[in-house]
Amino acid sequence: MLIFATTVFLSAFLLFQVQPIVAKMILPWFGGSSSVWSVCMVFFQAELLLGYAYVHWLHARLALRRQLQVHAGLLLASLATLPVIADPSWKSMAADTPSLGVLMVLAATVGAPYLMLSTTGPLMQAWYARRSLGHTNAQPYRLYALSNLASMLALLSYPVVVEPFMAVAAQGWAWSMLYAGFVACCVATAWSMRGVPGAATASPANEAVRAGANRAPGWGDRLLWVGLAATASILLLAITRHLTQDVAPVPFLWVVPLSLYLLSFILCFDAPRYYARRWFLVALVPAFVAVDHVLRNGAGVPVMVALLCSALFVFCMVCHGELVRRKPDVQHLTLFYLMLSVGGALGGMLVGLAAPALFNGYHELPIGLLLCAALVCIVVWNELRRAWRWLMLAAVVAYGGWLAYQAVSQLQDYRVVMRNFYSQLRVQDVHREGFGTVRQLVHGRINHGEQALDAAHRGRATSYYCERSGVGQILNSLPQDRPRHIGIVGLGTGTLLTYGRAGDRIRAYEINDQVLDLARREFSFLGDTRAAVTSVLGDGRLMLEAEPPQGFDVLVMDAFSGDSIPTHLITLQAMRGYLRHLGSDGVLAVHISNKYLDLKPVMAAAAQQLGLVALLRDIDEEAGDPYCFGSTWVLLMSPGRAQALPPEIREARQLEPRAGFRAWTDDFSNLLTILK
């Protein structure tokens, strides 16, 4: 057992350690969007499906000796693709086809090693079952629990042990060396199988099937396996997307839900007693209620993470517990795992690829919740009395109606609802006393800017960009006797264009073509400004890196995904790139308003590293200015430029670095240290 357990443990550890490594490696290339992780998971689940299909074919078609030869050859060939370092040339695909770009860069970077790792679990179990034929105490399914334990350890160790202490490129090299060690271990395992009796003949599973014994599971069983696996996958990805969209798309918030998903596999496959069926089925009700509460009312970060992750764990325990209750004899082990991987891949494709293309709302989470309720009804149907059956069916139908009502009602009363890889956007008209009709752009639960439609207020800077805000003050302080050059990363509704005067040049960078379309069609800031505006479609950081120095008087960083600023836009490397585009007296204005995260220490640490002054302009929404929202802006500039500011700006609080706080870089960011 030891050699099989070692190989399985190492393969599973590497399988899940590489996921956050390569996802973080490419995250800045695709806008730092939470969708990057969803598409990464689609790739990983599709690779897992290919790996399991390969194992099923190998086990069903080839004699053991031939299996050993084929698999050892493929393992050695995969070494030629190392190291797992993404080629920066793939950045060019980000703007046009981001989903396809993510899939292609992953295939080129980690495709072959990941595929070989994905085959190890079921293949080692099948070989172990063959080697242990006749031994009644052999339990190959426990190797699956061991592999999931290794997977969870890999995920949990990444944000604590790996990410804080190693650069991403160093992580890729270290992983590649460990993979070479895994290949050696796996080849040694195959070598140890040479002496198994009957290695040159067909597998005992095939002989049993041909003899009519132990018939393969029927299509009803297979569809139920697929459905349970798909439901857990949908709920995992949909809940992770909800967490990362409004907080931040960082490895920590990828790792926690995925670790709980794997923990449910570990508990269910290691021993059936861990799935206390009655209690987990009862716990489904508060789990459904918790998710509904968060979706309708929101919550602070700790409460939101706790509620959603607890509910996810209950859902996964039920789905995986019911899977284990229906697992077949070991002779059909590879078929069972193939169906599990089909379900996982289907769930991933729904959330990562189909939903952004087909839905204008985030309907994948309600779909997952309804599937979970329906499948529970199916698995307990024959165990209930007739009256209870129909009562449960009525409850599931009523729950489905409630979910449909919530999904529809959340999209009513909006002029426009759009969704793509980057986000869901909504435009709504609301009445505000003293202003009349106000048009708002909403992303997630966050207002991303607005415009009063009444002619008396239409041209005023409003919301986070009013004249009292940090960005409003710095733009109004610019010289009046010459044209100004202003850069904006994150167009939104285009409110900042109201500060443009005749002769000014404004260069606006926007990654989402739908935002640009809405700014032109639904808001008039872009058409009314007197400045000459150039729109650049693409990730602001990447576009600026590719351009010659622009000499901006002010460069405004105002890119948001929901309530979160993409992390790659506020690292030291990003800041250095922005400074290259500032004029000699230029100012970098960074919008850090956030309900969940306190980004002031990040700004202070960056300013210290770069020798800049960081002034904080934090205004209260209740300050009596009807045009202003509460907002937090940080103005970064040279000490000399700070001394030349007007008194009302110069007197703003200067940010001081927090003791022991480490500056964020492309290789390091720590969300836990800045949670509100």
3-state SS of 594-625 is CCCECCHHHHHHHHHHHCCEEEEEEECCCCCC
Is residue 59 a contact partner of residue 334, using CB atoms and an 8 Å limit?
A: yes
Q: Say if 109 falls within a structural domain.
A: yes
In a domain, 152, yes or no: yes
Over the stretch 529-575, which tens digit does the pLDDT of each residue have?
A: 999 999 999 888 889 988 999 999 999 999 876 666 788 889 999 99
pLDDT score at 211: 41
Query: At residue 198, does pLDDT exceed 70?
Result: no
pLDDT in tens, 232-271: 999 999 998 888 776 655 656 777 888 888 888 878 877 6
User: CB of 203 within 8 A of CB of 67?
Assistant: no
> What's the distance, CA 247 to chain centroid?
11
Same domain, 390 and 497: no
- % of the chain with per-residue pLDDT over 70: 91
Indicate if 138 and 287 belong to the same structural domain.
Answer: yes
pLDDT tens track for 339-373: 988 998 899 889 888 888 888 888 899 999 999 99
Pair 241, 351: CB distance under 8 Å: yes
* 405 and 474, same domain (yes or no): no
Beta strand 485-489 with 582-591 is unpaired
Beta strand 436-443 with 505-510: parallel, antiparallel or unpaired?
unpaired
Which residue among 382, 409, 436 closes a domain? Answer: 409
Query: Is residue 473 within 8 Å of 624, Cβ to Cβ?
Result: no
What's the pLDDT band for 140 if we cut at 50, 70, 90? low
Q: Let me know: does 633 contact 617? Beta carbons within 8 Å.
A: yes
pLDDT band at 163 (very low <50, low <70, confident <90, very high): confident
Helices 251-270/141-157 angle, 10° precision: 160
Residue-level pLDDT at 267: 83
- 585 in any annotated domain: yes
pTM score above 0.85: no
pLDDT band, very low/low/confident/very high, at 613 (cuts 50, 70, 90): very high
**C-alpha distances out from residue 494 to 420, 531, 536, Å:** 20, 12, 13
H helix or E strand, kind and range, residue 436: strand 436-443
- Torsion sign over Cα 474, 475, 477, 478: positive
Please indicate, yes or no, whether residues 486 and 398 belong to a single structural domain of this protein: no
651 and 515, same domain (yes or no): yes
Query: 223-249 b/e with 16+ CB inside 10 Å = b?
Result: ebbbbbbbbbbbbbbbbbbbbbbbbbb
Residue 496's SS3 state is: helix
pLDDT at position 213, please? Answer: 45
pLDDT at 616 (0 to 100): 94
Q: 119 and 235 in one domain? A: yes
Structural domain range at position 207? 2-409
> In angstroms, what is the C-alpha Rg of the chain?
28
Give, in order, the Cα–Cα distances in Å from 465 to each of 450, 483, 614, 622.
Answer: 10, 21, 19, 15
Beta strands (DSSP E) in 570-673 are 582-591, 613-619, 631-637, 653-654
Coil, strand, or helix at residue 613? strand
- Could you give the CA distance from residue 217 to residue 464 in angstroms, rounded to a whole number? 60
- Decide if 43 is inside a domain: yes
- Strand ranges for 497-537 from DSSP E: 505-510, 532-537
pLDDT at res. 61: 83
Question: Which amino acid makes up residue 281?
Answer: L
In this structure, what token pair is assigned to residue 430? 């609301």
Token pair 């602070």 is found at: 300
User: Which CATH number goes with the domain that contains 227?
Assistant: 1.20.1250.20
**SS3 string of 272-310?**
HHHCCHHHHHHHHHHHHHHHHHHHHHCCCHHHHHHHHHH
Are the C-beta atoms of residues 450 and 493 closer than 8 Å to each other? yes
| Cα separation, 106 vs 109, whole angstroms | 5
Q: What is the pLDDT of residues 628-672, one digit of tens each?
A: 888 999 999 999 998 888 888 888 889 999 998 989 888 777 777
Residue pair 424/362 in contact (Cβ under 8 Å)? The answer is: yes
pLDDT band at 622 (very low <50, low <70, confident <90, very high): low
Identify the pLDDT of residue 210: 42
User: Rounded to an integer, what distance in angstroms lies between the CA atom of residue 121 and that of residue 334?
Assistant: 10
Mean pLDDT value of segment 454-461:
88
Count of structural domains, the chain: 2
Mean pLDDT value across residues 56-85: 88
Of the pLDDT bands very low, low, confident and very high (cuts 50, 70, 90), residue 196 is low
pLDDT value at residue 337: 81
User: Does residue 64 form part of some domain?
Assistant: yes
Q: Which helix (H) or strand (E) holds 325?
A: helix 301-325
Q: Would 439 be classed as within a structural domain?
A: no
- At residue 215, the pLDDT reads 66
Same domain, 7 and 136: yes
Last residue of a domain, one of 409, 434, 451: 409
**Lowest pLDDT segment from 71-75, 92-96, 308-312:** 92-96
Q: Is the pLDDT of residue 206 over 70?
A: no
Structure tokens at 443: 């992303």
Higher-scoring residue by pLDDT: 142, 608? 608
For residues 651 and 630, is the Cβ–Cβ distance under 8 A?
Answer: no
Residue at a domain's end among 409, 438, 453: 409
Contact at 8 Å (CB) between 15 and 127? Answer: no
Average pLDDT of the chain, as a whole number: 85
- The answer to whether 268 and 317 are in contact (CB under 8 A) is yes
CATH code of residue 502: 3.40.50.150
Q: Does the bond joining 83 to the residue before it have cis omega, within 30 degrees of 0?
A: yes
Shared domain for 477 and 389, answered yes or no, is no
More confident of the two residues 361 and 520:
520
pLDDT at residue 587 in the model: 96
Q: Do the domain assignments include residue 278?
A: yes
Who has greater pLDDT, 193 or 1? 193
Distance CA 229, CA 308 (A): 19
Average pLDDT over residues 408-412: 82
**CA 40/CA 22 separation, integer angstroms:** 9
Would residue 519 count as lying in a domain? yes
Tell me: pLDDT of 304 over 90. no
Q: Domain check: are 258 and 395 in the same one?
A: yes
pLDDT score at 499: 95
> Helix (H, G, I), strand (E, B), or coil: what is residue 580?
coil
**Cα separation, 217 vs 630, whole angstroms:** 61
Q: 101 pLDDT exceeds 60? A: yes
Provide φ and ψ at 74, rounded to 5°: -65, -40
Same domain, 593 and 474: yes
Q: What is the pLDDT of residues 393-407, one digit of tens each?
A: 999 999 989 988 888
Residues 615 and 539 in one domain: yes
Whether 373 and 518 share a structural domain? no
What is the predicted pLDDT for the residue at 134?
Answer: 47
Query: Per-residue confidence at 207, pLDDT binned at 50, 70, 90?
Result: very low
Which distant-in-sequence residues (6+ apart) come within 8 Å of 312 by Cβ? 235, 236, 239, 257, 260, 261
pLDDT of amino acid 32:
66
Evaluated on CA atoms 405, 407, 408, 413, the torsion sign reads positive
User: In angstroms, rounded to a whole number, what is the distance separating the alpha carbons of residues 240 and 34?
Assistant: 9
